[in-house]
Structure 1
């Protein structure tokens, strides 16, 4: 598959000075902790295949990565950012205001937002989205009103659940995983609540966003930073704690952890692919097109990321837990990204 070179004017924009940009020998990548292991795998494969310096990949979180990525063009700014959600309109506008006006969007595959526990936890966990909301939301419905969450133990929510204290380690607000979890689990669980439905609030997007988005700050929910490996370590240390992170981290630690079923469905590559697992999302990376052809080896790295070896259902990213796109969607993605097709403004 050929790579179409961008115009000289775009390249000039992208570096502030082509000479200055060329002085940076290593590709620089920031962004999502969930996308990080996939990008790191591509970086290692690229370095092994070409002998070129391995790209510098930093796990800054999706929101943090977008802020850094959209800071400007030139060698002082990163070339790519990973994201566990699509770029927001406000982020796109920030990019535009700082001269980052030509960006390619790559949706590389799908991931499940896993809730997991240590394998030493003997409970047969199966949570509904409503139970997740009632455990972790800052306010929940009680006796016809939204009040500070009174639930201390899982069994306070439902007697069939474990009697252990609620303790969940999860992502911070800067993380795309947090954004996705709030939308796919908290909002959805809130809308399943009987009182919320009786009031008709489940159909009021503004009410749901304002009342069902905040996570607890009284102890049961702990922001664990952008390093998901730290959550894995904490679950190993406390068998009663649960962790929230992308499926790839569960996949890589199945010898230590087990996934919690949501609505009777356990997270797996199959259940994420067929959408039967209810908490799944697409994963992305974004390329600063003005840096193509200017930053050394960037074009070749993008070609490796877009290769069949990386992205097919039996590719090396699938081996690390990425749920692959269909063949048709993968070909469309490869054509758009390799040819530097610019994304349009988000709604």
Structure 2
């Protein structure tokens, strides 16, 4: 009897140890900022490659930077829920979103602009360098279904619209700056990342989309940015806000920075860090 009791107690104790271990693992996995060995960054597909390069360039090899994209919405969500050390956001963070974070921190690395770009083989480039806001609305709403609907000189070839999915910051920026109350056509191809959007324009001569200025510079000659109301998306026009379709590049967090996070942020804001922003085709916050 004593032997049976000893076995039962031993089993109970073992089960208790297993559950205690599982509980501890679950608690620490909820808050990424508690893992001081790694800095996890989630969000904007536009900003993700910049942050990844910065992580690779760090001299402090005790800091490991993990980056995954998913859109600016995912970046804000990660910051609110603290599933990452930092959220990557390529749009303004709304007051409502900030209100969900008790100790909101925002690091502005620079600016991007959304260019209205077409394939270099698109015949619109023979006669036009610029589109008006009204023409862009007509194209992206689906009111103009063929290029001949934009200009009677153009062939009656179907316009291929490429936009970011709703989770991307670009979709919100474009709606606010260009579309207003008009909705983007349901026929538009929704790209899961800015890289995918850019590639769609490169691959199809009848495509048009709002490609990031950084991606346009990285793929120079493979797609052509058009002026909007006569204003080209140059560095000067973006900085002085003459070019209206621009957006900030942000790293956000809820809470104070730990030592490793501060080291990483200091590098991002340094001349070397900001050079990575500029070298990627964006405009750093110098």
Which category of TM-score, normalised to the shorter sequence, fits these structures?
0.7 to 0.9
Going from structure 1 to structure 2, the CA distance change for 1:161 and 1:81 (only over 3 Å counts) comes to: farther
* Structure possessing the higher relative contact order (Cα contacts under 8 Å, 6 or more residues apart): 1
Residue 56 of structure 2: which of 35, 44, 48 is its match? 44
Larger Rg: 2
Matches within 5 A, 1:1-347: 23=35, 25-46=37-58, 49-72=59-82, 77-95=83-101, 101-124=102-125, 125=128, 126-137=130-141, 149-159=142-152, 163-187=156-180, 211-212=181-182, 214-217=183-186, 219=187, 221-225=188-192, 227-293=193-259, 297-311=260-274, 315-325=275-285, 330=286
> What is the CA–CA distance in structure 1 between the aligned matches of 2:113 and 2:155, rounded to whole Å?
24
Native 8 Å contact 2:198 2:211 kept in 1: no
Give the SS at the match of 1:155.
Answer: helix
> What is the CA–CA distance in structure 1 between the aligned matches of 2:200 and 2:281, rounded to whole Å?
21
Give the SS at the match of 1:51.
Answer: coil
> What is the CA–CA distance in structure 1 between the aligned matches of 2:43 and 2:95, rounded to whole Å?
17
> What is the CA–CA distance in structure 2 between the aligned matches of 1:163 and 1:258, rounded to whole Å?
21
Q: How many matched pairs?
A: 256
Give the SS at the match of 2:107.
Answer: strand
* Residues 274-318 of structure 1: CA deviation (Å, up to 9, x unaligned): 33323222222213334523xxx222111101112323xxx2311
Going from structure 1 to structure 2, the CA distance change for 1:21 and 1:89 (only over 3 Å counts) comes to: closer
> What is the CA distance between 1:265 and its match in structure 2?
2.8
**Root mean square deviation, CA, Å:** 2.5
Unmatched 5+ stretches in structure 2: 1-26
> What is the CA–CA distance in structure 2 between the aligned matches of 1:169 and 1:186, rounded to whole Å?
15
In proportion to residue count, which structure has more strand?
2
> What is the CA distance between 1:156 and its match in structure 2?
1.4
Q: Which residue of 2 aligns with 1:208?
A: none
> What is the CA–CA distance in structure 1 between the aligned matches of 2:217 and 2:223, rounded to whole Å?
9
How high is the TM-score relative to the length of structure 1? Answer: 0.67
> What is the CA–CA distance in structure 1 between the aligned matches of 2:184 and 2:197, rounded to whole Å?
17
Unmatched 5+ stretches in structure 1: 1-14, 96-100, 138-148, 188-210, 331-347
* Residues 107-129 of structure 1: CA deviation (Å, up to 9, x unaligned): 22221111222233343142111
